[in-house]
Amino acid sequence: MRKTFTRIFVGVIGFITTAFVVYAPVTPSKASIRPVEGLEPRLQGGTVSLASPGRIEGKSDTVEVGAAVDGVIQSILVKEGQQVNRGQVIASIDCRDLQSMLPVARAEAESLRQARERLLRGSRKEEREASAQRTIAAKAVLAQTIAHLDRSKKLSDSEAISRASYDEARRDQSVAAAEYERAQRNEELVNAGPLTEEVAKATADLNAAESRITYAEERLGKCVVRAPITGTVLRVLLREGESFALVAPRPLLTVADTTGRRVRAEVDERDVAKVHVGQQVLITSAAYSGQHFSGTVTRLSSVMGRKSVLTGDPADKSDRDVLEVTAQLEPGATALPLGLRVTVEFGK
């Protein structure tokens, strides 16, 4: 009987405990107050409204630099940690096929340009003079045949020559007249300017050739990779001899402006009303124990997103949306490495 009573008593106690856990009111927790693992937010004098995890960034966004054409990487001209200026050549793609095509395109364009100039200039002076001389000669021959035909007609009428001789003189005169007319037409063609359609075709051919040169030069220019910003090379991700493809691009390297520091914090969706531009923040990190870095909120994201900074706390929920908040840090924060996880405390 005593054992039975004991079992009943234990069962009742268990039921009461379970009911309390299930039905008791749950106090809402503030996920944003949960700092990065190993850190506790400094609630100094109650002036901190919330704390959120964040990561240290450079003065600018980290830029993933790629090439504009497919190909094999010919050279990487920078190293990690090296300072680069905007527009500086930092890598190149092997484009020797384009380099060999460019001189051919230029030679073709030059040939078409000279042909167009020759067309617009017309015949040479020597050609015009020679044509005029042929016309004069043909005219003289025609005059001679006309005189001979007149004499032959008179002789034929007096029966001094045969009818066949007269017919031969008339034929010579007809041939001379045709030759003179042809010489005149040839002289007109030599002295005439080019046809409109000929000039249009020559111009179109030249423009097409120059466009091919421009296209080849642009393609060749894309084989040279230049720094998009002035900053520091953070990572070199591809090496010489590796291939780069636009279909599935991988960045050649990453660059960022490291002359300053900013922090990108992730504020829980329940606390977004507590942050605003101009708000003071305090940065702490387990790697810099006892040190604190101040800053000012400069931008709030216009859309909610998913968490990217994990605190390492298994109780931290990762399915909530967060608002990215960017704060510019004071100059003394340049010692913080990029990508460092920190706790961001927001003042009231």
User: Are 211 and 178 in a shared domain?
Assistant: yes
User: Are 192 and 285 in a shared domain?
Assistant: no
What does the pLDDT read at residue 44?
Answer: 45
pLDDT per residue over 276-296, tens digit each? 999 999 999 988 888 889 999
User: Are 292 and 319 in a shared domain?
Assistant: yes
* 16 located within any domain: no
User: Are 75 and 124 in a shared domain?
Assistant: no
Give percent of the chain above pLDDT 90: 45
User: Are 116 and 138 in a shared domain?
Assistant: yes
What does the pLDDT read at residue 316?
Answer: 62
User: Are 192 and 334 in a shared domain?
Assistant: no
In this prediction, residues 14-23 reach a mean pLDDT of: 43
* 191 located within any domain: yes
Q: Is the pLDDT of residue 12 over 50?
A: no
CA 21 to chain centre: 60
* 161 located within any domain: yes
Do the Cβ atoms of 111 and 284 come closer than 8 Å? no
DSSP assigned state of 25: P
Domain finish residue from 208, 233, 255: 255
What does the pLDDT read at residue 311?
Answer: 61
In this prediction, residues 44-62 reach a mean pLDDT of: 81
**Number of domains composing the chain:** 3
* 3 located within any domain: no
Q: Which domain holds residue 264?
A: 30-59+260-347
What does the pLDDT read at residue 45?
Answer: 47
* 17 located within any domain: no
What does the pLDDT read at residue 57?
Answer: 92
Q: Is the pLDDT of residue 17 over 70?
A: no
pLDDT per residue over 133-163, tens digit each? 999 999 899 999 999 888 888 888 887 888 8
| Average pLDDT over all residues of the chain | 83
User: Are 209 and 232 in a shared domain?
Assistant: no
User: Are 228 and 89 in a shared domain?
Assistant: yes
User: Are 337 and 282 in a shared domain?
Assistant: yes
pLDDT per residue over 293-347, tens digit each? 999 999 999 999 888 776 666 556 666 789 999 999 998 888 899 989 999 999 8
Residue 228: CA atoms inside 13 Å, Cβ hemisphere, count?
Answer: 15
Distance CA 33, CA 49 (A): 9
pLDDT per residue over 199-216, tens digit each? 999 999 999 999 999 999
Dihedral angle computed from the Cα positions of residues 133, 138, 141 and 145, in that order, rounded to the nearest 10 degrees: -160
CA 265 to chain centre: 31
What does the pLDDT read at residue 312?
Answer: 60
Say which CATH number the domain at 328 has.
2.40.30.170
User: Are 204 and 115 in a shared domain?
Assistant: yes
What does the pLDDT read at residue 32?
Answer: 44
Q: Which one of 38-47, 142-151, 230-239 scores highest in mean pLDDT? A: 230-239
Residue 199, H or E segment: helix 196-222
Helices (H) and strands (E) in the chain, counts: 5, 14
Q: Is the pLDDT of residue 1 over 90?
A: no
Q: Is the pLDDT of residue 24 over 60?
A: no
pLDDT per residue over 301-310, tens digit each? 999 988 877 6
* 71 located within any domain: yes
* 190 located within any domain: yes
pLDDT per residue over 76-91, tens digit each? 999 999 999 999 999 9
What does the pLDDT read at residue 39?
Answer: 39
Q: Is the pLDDT of residue 121 over 90?
A: no
User: Are 264 and 204 in a shared domain?
Assistant: no
What is the bridge-based pairing of β-strands 261-268 and 280-284?
A: unpaired
Domain finish residue from 237, 255, 273: 255
Say which CATH number the domain at 232 has.
2.40.50.100
User: Are 171 and 233 in a shared domain?
Assistant: no
Domain finish residue from 231, 255, 279: 255
